Structures are given as structure tokens and as C-alpha cells.
Amino acid sequence: MQNFRDKTAVITGAASGIGLATARLLAVKGMQVALLDNREDTLAKACRELEEEGYPVLGQVVDIRYPDAVNQAADTISSRFGSVNLLINNAAVFIRGHGITEVEQDVWDWLMDVNLRGTLNCLRTFLPLMQANGEEGHVVNTCSISGLVVRDRKNGIYATSKFALVGLSEALAFDLAGTPINVSVLIPGAVASDFYLSSAEHRGSLGGPNLFPDTPEDTANGMSPADVAERLIDGIRHKRFYITTHAANRAMVEQKYRELMAAFDAAESFET
């Protein structure tokens, strides 16, 4: 997409962090923006701020785990703004501190229902609307560097969901090849947002004691959500499938793929 003016964006997890920063930037560029989030008070505050700045926004309190709730939001958005051109599946939750086999089933269900199935619910609802208008469109699935490389941070359940989301995005890109709708996967590193704390709030008592510190040290000096949003919009403009934000993460990915290439070299040597 090169032209954003007078078009409509739908953003999940839009009440704060990357979602809100992206909503603001798109509004500045002339888009009508629907902000979806399940934090009613936080969402109301975000919409009020954008409206006071003079931007056309619509807030919808939605838990994306539930298809009917997503469908109802879509009906409201269509009535207010008409066709949808840009879908940013940004909503996600996080947990760390547990080994894979230590995480109880209810925690697995909660996290996968939001991070993976919630994204799928939004795709099933909004993608047909985008296809029906026959215009150029774009889908962005917010992932993480943890969707490419697993580090020793005991966040394996989160990484599993994001690895799956990268695969879903690659498959979606193949499905939509040759159509006016492009697909991107956003891969940020540490971001200075309330993501960890809001995830802990949503998780409640699931998984036992809250393992999130009040000020996560790995996000204290993270990239600002506004800077992530700038990189995201640039990636959309250039129709990049992978949109990365933190150049310093290149080394981890290169190391992973050196190991993969070495494995293929070993296979080739074995065959000969």
C-alpha cells in the first residue's frame, strides 16, 4: 500500500504500545482507524486521546478469542467506515519463567487462544471483507524475534505461539499470491511498552505466582513503540514480508541459519 488516506485500518491490541503507536501514525497519514482491545478503560483513554487530536477512530472492546465478538466488531466497523484495507493482528500475551513441560494446560490454552487462534479469528472475519472490496490491501501479523530464534529466557510457550504465527503468515502469503492483498510479519525485539505487565494482568492466577517484575529489565531500554510503528509502515509501503525492527538481532538469526546450513552440508556429505 502506497496511499493510506481515506482508507480503513483495523488494529488489535491497539490500546497501548505498538498497536496504539501504529494507530496514531496511520491516523496522521489520513486513515480511519478501528482500535480493538479487551481492556475497556485503557482503550477508551486511547481513543479519547486520538479523537482530541482530531483523528477519525473507533474503539471496539473485543476479546479476539471469541469469533462472535470479532464478527460483531466487524459489523460495527463496516457500518461506520465501510470497507477494510489494512488489518494489523497485533494482540498477544506473554508468559516466561517456566519450562515447556511445567506449563499447565490452561495456560497453554489461554496463550495459544490469544496469540494464534485469535489471529486466525480476525483473519477469517476481516480478510473476506478486504477481498470483497477488490482494492489493494495488506495484512500484518505481529510476531517477535522469539518467532525465529529461541533464547534461554524460559519463554518457550510464547516462542511456540510466535513460531506458529510465522508459519501461518508464510502460508497466508502463498494463499494470497497474485491478489491485491499483501502479507507481512512484524518481528520486533524488545519494546518499551506495557506488554509484560498487561499480559500478567490478563493471566491473573493462571500458572501460579506472577513471575513478571514491575519494571522488566529487558524492555526498560527497548525501542519506542513509535519507532516500531515507523518501521512497520515503511515495510507495508515496500510490501516486505519480513519487517524487522532491531538490526542487532541479525547475529542471532545468522547463527541459527549457519547451523542449519551446516546440517545440510552434513547430509550432503553423508549421501556421498
**Residue 21: other Cβ atoms inside 10 A:** 21
Residue 196 designated active-site: no
Of 55, 66, 158, 196, which residue is the catalytic one? 158
The three cell numbers locating residue 220: 526498560
Distance CA 23, CA 9 (A): 8
Compute the distance between CA of residue 193 and CA of residue 190 in angstroms, rounded to an integer. Answer: 9
How far apart, in Å, are the Cα atoms of 228 and each of 54, 180, 245? 23, 25, 6
Place of cell 471483507: 129
Strand ranges across the sheet with 57-61: 57-61, 32-37, 8-12, 86-89, 137-142, 181-187, 242-244
Q: How far apart are the C-alpha atoms of 4 and 53, rounded to whole Å?
A: 18
Cβ neighbours, 10 Å, residue 135: 14
Q: For residues 222 and 215, what is the distance between their CA atoms, to the nearest angstrom? A: 12
Are 115 and 142 a contacting pair, CB within 8 Å?
Answer: no
- Active-site residue set: 158
